[in-house]
């Protein structure tokens, strides 16, 4: 069929199928028309006519130039000519629509040929309005461009992958890190950059994350282009197509090397600190549990949190038994309301932020003891207590020692007083003893002589009493000398009678053998007196106190005594006795079982020292409820030792005078008068001075063969006088007299000087002066 047949002679479609063709054309959304060789529209569908806003009848027969306008035709005319020449044309161009403005149109010119002659009869034109598509594409391109600009300027690596995990896009940071060009991205295998130690883990985590179709995070080490391993943390999320299908993933990675390094260093530091904390905890635990004091940790309301081993052992409690319990409702204070209230007050005060301290009398291991308890707060950042630390220290022995020290200080003060009194008594006794001695020697009546010697013995007992007072006051120097124990005890009978009172019977069994021992007689008397007083206190209802001496020989069978002869002095009572634990400690210094204020704990230790001083020892035999016997062992003095006789034992001896000048310096006029008169009667040329200053003046007037000076004087002391005299005459002989026995002080003042202790008799003065003058002759 030719073109004329298909379109009719006048270019019209045959009536029998025109309606069908027109319906199909009108149903198409695109613009459809046909122009003949003369560029006149011969057919158009409804969409075409509506596009131009004209009825279809006004479009048909109109030329393309007329319909489109000169400008639009100028752009399309050449293409139409080529189509009429037989070349199919496709192009996209903009069109200025009268109402809709500038539109994007996609146009196709398809030549229509005569099937027989192949002559081009016209052109079928199909036009599609792609304005919205172009706008969307433009927006997409702009969005992609913006994304690329943003991605390339981002400091983090970014990428887009396909389902095959190949990178579809990477940003500049990615290229810089990997050292790639964009051309190499398609062949790039990102797994090759993973650290070998992280490879298996990371690939497994990546596959697991992708399978969830949810965002996921990975962290691993990757090799940078310079060979350095860097820690990267990546966040990936799935991307989907228009129909919701998975098309790949988009991700970003951050270099977290510094943070990771800091994290690892922090972990190492935490591990080190944890180890140090564990070590510190061990050290604290070691100190906490080995401390001798009881220590506990409490909450601010006074509930036990922890208690050290010392406290748990002393209280017999376990950690489980104390946890969470109130301190004042637990041992050791729960059974003592007063102690419990005191503990509660300590805790309440500490809970207010102050350190509280008090002494509590509590029982530990069944024994009552004095404890110094303190509670201290541990403050938090805001200054409020978060814990309380409690401590308790047994101060029983300390308080006992302090009490003993106070008693000793009292005794020292008393001793200073008694020492001063004893010194004055010695001055008085010097005159009494000297006077009685002269009377006894000059009186011819035997009866009066006996009276005088008895009075002299009494005066000498008074002298021994002052010596005891001086020893008590720690002023008298101990002098170990041959001493007869039996006679010493015998002479103490009057004193013991007064001390013990009538309620205690006294028994004496004294050995008749006159065997001297090495002891300080004054200290021995004090020891006997101390033991007698202890025995009296142990017999409050009365009893029997016995004194026995026995001569014995030790021959290799005693661990405490060397072989030899000893005198055993036994002092036994029928009192309360002592338990073994008291006997074991009885000789310890400061140990006492007496009430506070009634004992210093020094008595028995002093007794033991007296025995040991003589080369012996002391022992205790005691049975509770039956009594106590203390045995003192004194070593026998050498065979040639001489015992000083008493006044009644001494005879009168007349010795020729040796002559010489003596300067007597003493502040006591009675003592000075006795010394001066005695020396004058003995044939000495005597001058006197009443104090140190006058004595120095007298000495400067005329020297003396011997200077007799009182050691203790007001103003210039005897030591100062001796120093001045010796500075003028180093060879000057000096004899000190004193109511004290200051041997060490005298040696410092005048090393070669001798001492005559007050009180003394004329013979003792004569002996001392003769000995001093004889040393000059020698």
Task: Report whether pLDDT(521) > 90.
Answer: no
Looking at residue 146, its pLDDT comes to: 74
| Planar angle of CA 335, 336, 341, nearest 5 degrees | 120
| Average pLDDT over every residue of 241-260 | 87
Q: What is the pLDDT of residue 601?
A: 40
DSSP E strands, 264-414: 294-298, 304-307, 356-364, 367-379, 385-394
Instruction: Give the percent of the chain with pLDDT over 90.
Output: 25
Helix then strand then coil, % of the chain, to nearest 5: 45, 25, 30
- B/e letters for 261-288, b = 16+ CB within 10 Å, e = fewer, are eeeeeeeeeeeeeeeeeeeeeeeeeeeb
pLDDT tens profile 527-560: 888 889 888 988 988 899 999 999 988 887 788 8
Cα separation, 700 vs 663, in Å, equals 11
What's the confidence (pLDDT) of residue 465? 64
Return the closest-CA partner of residue 303 out of 360, 364, 351. Answer: 351
Averaged pLDDT score across all residues of the chain = 81
Residue 189 confidence (pLDDT) = 82
Long-range contacts from 69-76, C-beta under 8 angstroms, 24+ separation: 71/96, 72/96, 76/107
Please tell me which of 81-90, 402-411, 441-450 the model is most confident about, judged by mean pLDDT: 81-90
- pLDDT reported for residue 172: 85
Q: What's the pLDDT at 514?
A: 80
User: What pLDDT is recorded for position 55?
Assistant: 93
Residue 209 has pLDDT above 80, yes or no: yes
- Of 533, 534, 529, 633, whose CA–CA distance to 577 is shortest? 534
Three-state SS across 482-496? Answer: EECHHHHHHHCHHHH
Which residue, chain included where needed, has tokens 């002479």? 491
Higher pLDDT, 441 or 636: 636
The answer for residues whose C-beta is within 8 angstroms of residue 748's C-beta and 6 or more apart is 719
Q: What SS3 state is found at 667?
A: coil
Res 706 pLDDT > 90: yes
Beta-carbon neighbour count of residue 530 at 10 Å? Answer: 17
Q: Who's near 178: CB < 8 A, 6+ residues apart?
A: 170, 188, 193, 224, 225
- Above 80 in pLDDT, residue 690? yes
**DSSP structure class, residue 194:** B
What is the enclosing helix (H) or strand (E) of 678? Answer: helix 669-681
Please give the helix or strand (H or E) that residue 8 lies within, else none: none
Q: What DSSP assignment string belongs to 557-570?
A: --SSS-SEEEEEEE
If pLDDT is split at 50, 70 and 90, which confidence band does 493 have? Answer: confident
Confidence of residue 282 (pLDDT cuts 50, 70, 90): confident
Task: Give the residues across from 218 on adjacent strands.
Answer: 234
pLDDT of residue 420: 64
What does residue 587 show for φ and ψ, rounded to 5 degrees?
A: -85, 0
| Range 402-422 average pLDDT | 63
| pLDDT of 1 over the 60 cut | no
Q: Is 524 helix (H, G, I), strand (E, B) or coil?
A: helix
**Residue 63 pLDDT exceeds 90:** yes
pLDDT in tens, 578-637: 888 888 877 765 556 555 444 434 467 778 878 887 788 889 999 898 999 999 998 888
Furthest C-alpha separation in the chain: 209
- Which among 701, 702, 760 has a CA at the least distance from the CA of 735? 760
Q: Per mean pLDDT, which of 355-364, 365-374, 416-425, 536-545 is the most reliable?
A: 536-545
Asked whether residue 351 carries a pLDDT value surpassing 50, the answer given is: yes
3-state secondary structure of 594: coil
State whether the Cα torsion 377-381-382-387 is positive or negative. negative
Closest CA to 306 of 321, 316, 293: 321
Q: Give the pLDDT band of residue 11 (cuts 50, 70, 90).
A: very low
For position 13, what pLDDT does the model report?
A: 44
Q: Give the other-Cβ count within 10 Å of 702's Cβ.
A: 9
Q: What values do phi and psi take at 679, rounded to 5?
A: -65, -35
For residue range 734-772, what is the model confidence (pLDDT) as tens digits? 999 987 656 566 667 667 777 888 888 888 888 889 888
pLDDT score for 468: 58
pLDDT at 45: 92
The band of 191, judged by pLDDT with boundaries at 50, 70 and 90, is: confident
All domains of the chain in start order, with CATH: 3-129 (3.30.450.20), 140-255 (3.30.450.20), 292-395 (3.30.450.20), 417-635 (3.30.565.10), 661-777 (3.40.50.2300)
Separation between Cα atoms, residue 92 and residue 75, nearest integer Å? 11
Distance CA 401, CA 407 (A): 9
Residue 39, pLDDT > 50, answer yes
Q: What is the pLDDT of residue 7?
A: 44
Core vs surface per residue 536-545: b (16+ CB within 10 A) or e:
bebbeeebeb
Q: State the Cα–Cα distance between residues 367 and 681, nearest whole angstrom.
A: 72
The residues near 489 (Cβ < 8 Å, ≥ 6 apart) are 508, 510, 528, 547, 549, 569
> What is the per-residue pLDDT for 648?
44
Residue with tokens 């046909």: 34
Given a cut of 60, whether residue 653 has pLDDT beyond it is no
Of 333, 347, 264, the closest CA to residue 305 belongs to 347
Q: Could you tell me which residues come within 8 angstroms of residue 7 by beta carbon, excluding any fewer than 6 positions away?
A: 13, 42
Residues 95 and 88 sit within 8 Å (Cβ to Cβ): no
Residue 707 has pLDDT above 90, yes or no: yes
Output b/e per residue, 449-485; b: 16+ Cβ within 10 A. beebbebbbebbebbbbbbbbbbbbebbbebbbbbbb
Indicate if the pLDDT at residue 129 is higher than 90: no
Which of 37-51, 265-279, 707-721 has the least mean pLDDT? 265-279
Closest to 772 (Cα-Cα) out of 704, 714, 724, 677: 704
Measured at the CA of 683, the angle between CA 681 and CA 684, to 5 degrees, comes to 105
Residue 759 preceded by cis peptide, ω within 30: yes
Res 464: pLDDT:
64
Question: CA 125: distance to chain centroid?
Answer: 102
Question: How far is 172 from 85, CA to CA, in rounded Å?
Answer: 51
Helix, coil or strand: residue 33: strand
Minimum mean pLDDT range among 290-299, 332-341, 532-541, 592-601: 592-601
Instruction: Give the pLDDT mean for 65-71.
Output: 91
CA dihedral 335, 336, 342, 346 (to 10 degrees): -20
pLDDT computed for residue 314 by the predictor: 81
* For helices 396-442 and 446-472, angle between their N-to-C axes, nearest 10 degrees: 160
The percent of residues above 70 in pLDDT, for the chain, comes to 81
Nearby residues of 110 by Cβ (< 8 Å), 6 or more positions away: 83, 88, 123, 124, 125, 126
Q: Grade residue 451 by pLDDT with cuts at 50, 70 and 90.
A: low
pLDDT of res. 98:
86
Average pLDDT over residues 212-229: 91
Q: Concatenated DSSP letters for 104-119? A: EEEEEEEEEE-TTT--
Lowest mean pLDDT among 178-192, 420-434, 464-478, 553-567: 464-478
Q: Residue range 225-249: average pLDDT? A: 90
Looking at residue 127, its pLDDT comes to 93
What is the C-alpha to C-alpha distance for residues 348 and 351, in angstroms, rounded to an integer?
A: 5
| pLDDT surpassing 70 at residue 411 | no
CA end-to-end span of the chain: 186
Residue 341 pLDDT exceeds 60: yes
Q: What is the rounded average pLDDT of the residues 83-101?
A: 90
Question: Residue 10: enclosing H or E segment and its boundaries?
Answer: none
pTM confidence score: 0.41
User: What pLDDT shows up at residue 649?
Assistant: 47
Name which of 627, 611, 507, 510 is nearest 566 in CA terms. 611
Q: Which residues pair with 358 in a beta bridge?
A: 373
**Rounded-to-integer distance, Cα 331 and Cα 248, Å:** 75
Q: What is the DSSP letter of 1?
A: -
Is pLDDT larger for residue 520 or for residue 776?
520
HSE-up (13 A, CA, CB side) for residue 524: 31
Q: What's the rounded Cα separation, in Å, for the pair 107 and 124?
A: 11
Mean pLDDT of 359-375: 80
CA distance 324 to 301: 10
**684 pLDDT band (50/70/90 cuts)?**
very high
């Amino acid at each position: 069929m030719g073109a004329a047949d298909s379109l009719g002679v006048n270019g019209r479609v045959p009536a029998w199928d025109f309606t069908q063709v027109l319906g199909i054309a009108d149903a198409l959304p695109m613009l459809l028309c046909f122009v003949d060789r003369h560029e006149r529209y011969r057919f158009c569908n409804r969409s075409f006519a509506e596009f131009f806003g004209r009825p279809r009848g006004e479009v048909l027969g109109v030329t393309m130039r007329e319909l489109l306008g000169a400008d639009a035709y100028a752009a399309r005319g050449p293409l139409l000519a080529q189509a009429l020449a037989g070349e199919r044309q496709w192009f996209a161009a903009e069109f200025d629509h009268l109402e809709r403005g500038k539109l994007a149109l996609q146009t196709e010119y398809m030549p229509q040929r005569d099937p027989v002659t192949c002559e081009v009869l016209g052109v079928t034109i199909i036009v599609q309005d792609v304005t919205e598509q172009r706008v969307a594409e433009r927006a997409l391109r702009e969005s992609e461009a913006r994304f690329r600009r943003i991605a390339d300027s981002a400091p983090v690596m970014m990428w887009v992958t396909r389902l095959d995990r190949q990178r579809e896009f990477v940003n500049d940071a990615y290229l810089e890190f990997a050292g790639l060009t964009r051309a190499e991205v398609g062949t790039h295998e990102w797994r090759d950059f993973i650290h070998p130690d992280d490879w298996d883990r990371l690939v497994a985590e990546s596959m697991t994350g992708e399978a969830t179709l949810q965002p996921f995070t990975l962290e691993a080490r990757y090799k940078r282009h310079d060979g350095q391993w860097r820690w990267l943390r990546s966040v990936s999320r799935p991307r989907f197509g228009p129909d919701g299908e998975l098309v790949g993933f988009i991700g970003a990675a951050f270099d977290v090397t510094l943070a990771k390094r800091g994290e690892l260093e922090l972990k190492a530091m935490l591990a080190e600190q944890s180890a140090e904390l564990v070590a510190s905890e061990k050290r604290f635990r070691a100190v906490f549990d080995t401390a001798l004091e009881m220590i506990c940790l409490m909450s601010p309301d006074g509930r036990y949190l922890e208690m050290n081993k010392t406290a748990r052992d002393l209280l017999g409690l376990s950690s489980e038994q104390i946890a969470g319990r109130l301190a004042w409702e637990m041992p050791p204070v729960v059974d003592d309301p007063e102690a419990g209230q005191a503990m509660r007050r300590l805790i309440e005060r500490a809970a207010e932020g102050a350190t509280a301290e008090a002494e509590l009398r509590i029982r530990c291991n069944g024994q009552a003891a004095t404890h110094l308890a303190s509670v201290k707060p541990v403050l938090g950042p805001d200054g409020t207590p978060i814990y309380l630390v409690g401590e308790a220290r047994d101060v029983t022995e300390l308080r006992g020692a302090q009490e003993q020290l106070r008693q000793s200080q009292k005794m020292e003060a008393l001793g200073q007083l008694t020492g001063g009194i004893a010194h004055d008594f010695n001055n008085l006794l010097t005159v009494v003893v000297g006077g009685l001695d002269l009377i006894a020697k000059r009186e011819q009546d035997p009866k009066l002589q006996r009276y005088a010697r008895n009075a002299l013995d009494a005066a000498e007992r008074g002298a021994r009493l002052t010596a005891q007072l001086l020893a008590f006051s720690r002023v008298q120097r101990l002098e170990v000398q041959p001493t007869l124990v039996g006679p010493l005890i015998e002479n103490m009978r009057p004193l013991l009678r007064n001390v013990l009172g009538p309620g205690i019977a006294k028994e004496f069994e004294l050995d008749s053998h006159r065997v001297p021992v090495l002891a300080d007689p004054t200290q021995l008397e004090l020891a006997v007196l101390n033991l007698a007083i202890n025995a009296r206190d142990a017999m409050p209802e009365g009893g029997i106190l016995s004194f026995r001496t026995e001569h014995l020989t030790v021959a290799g069978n005693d661990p405490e005594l060397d072989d030899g002869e000893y005198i055993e002095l036994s002092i036994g009572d029928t009192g309360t006795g002592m338990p073994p634990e008291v006997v074991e400690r009885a000789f310890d210094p400061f140990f006492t079982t007496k009430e506070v204020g009634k004992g210093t704990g020094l008595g028995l230790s002093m007794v033991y020292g007296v025995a040991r001083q003589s080369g012996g020892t002391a022992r205790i035999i005691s049975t509770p409820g039956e009594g106590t016997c203390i045995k003192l062992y004194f070593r026998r003095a050498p065979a040639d030792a001489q015992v000083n006789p008493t006044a009644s034992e001494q005879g009168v001896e007349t010795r020729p005078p040796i002559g010489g000048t003596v300067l007597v310096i003493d502040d006591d006029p009675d003592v000075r008068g006795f010394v001066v008169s005695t020396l004058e009667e003995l044939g000495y040329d005597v001058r006197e001075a009443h104090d140190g200053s006058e004595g120095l003046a007298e000495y400067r007037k005329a020297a003396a063969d011997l200077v007799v000076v009182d050691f203790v004087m007001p103003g210039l002391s005897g030591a100062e006088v001796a120093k001045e005299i010796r500075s003028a005459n180093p060879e000057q002989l000096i004899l000190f007299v004193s109511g004290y026995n200051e041997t060490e002080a005298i040696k410092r003042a005048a090393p070669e000087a001798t001492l005559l202790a007050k009180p003394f008799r004329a013979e003792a003065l004569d002996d001392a002066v003769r000995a001093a003058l004889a040393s000059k002759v020698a």
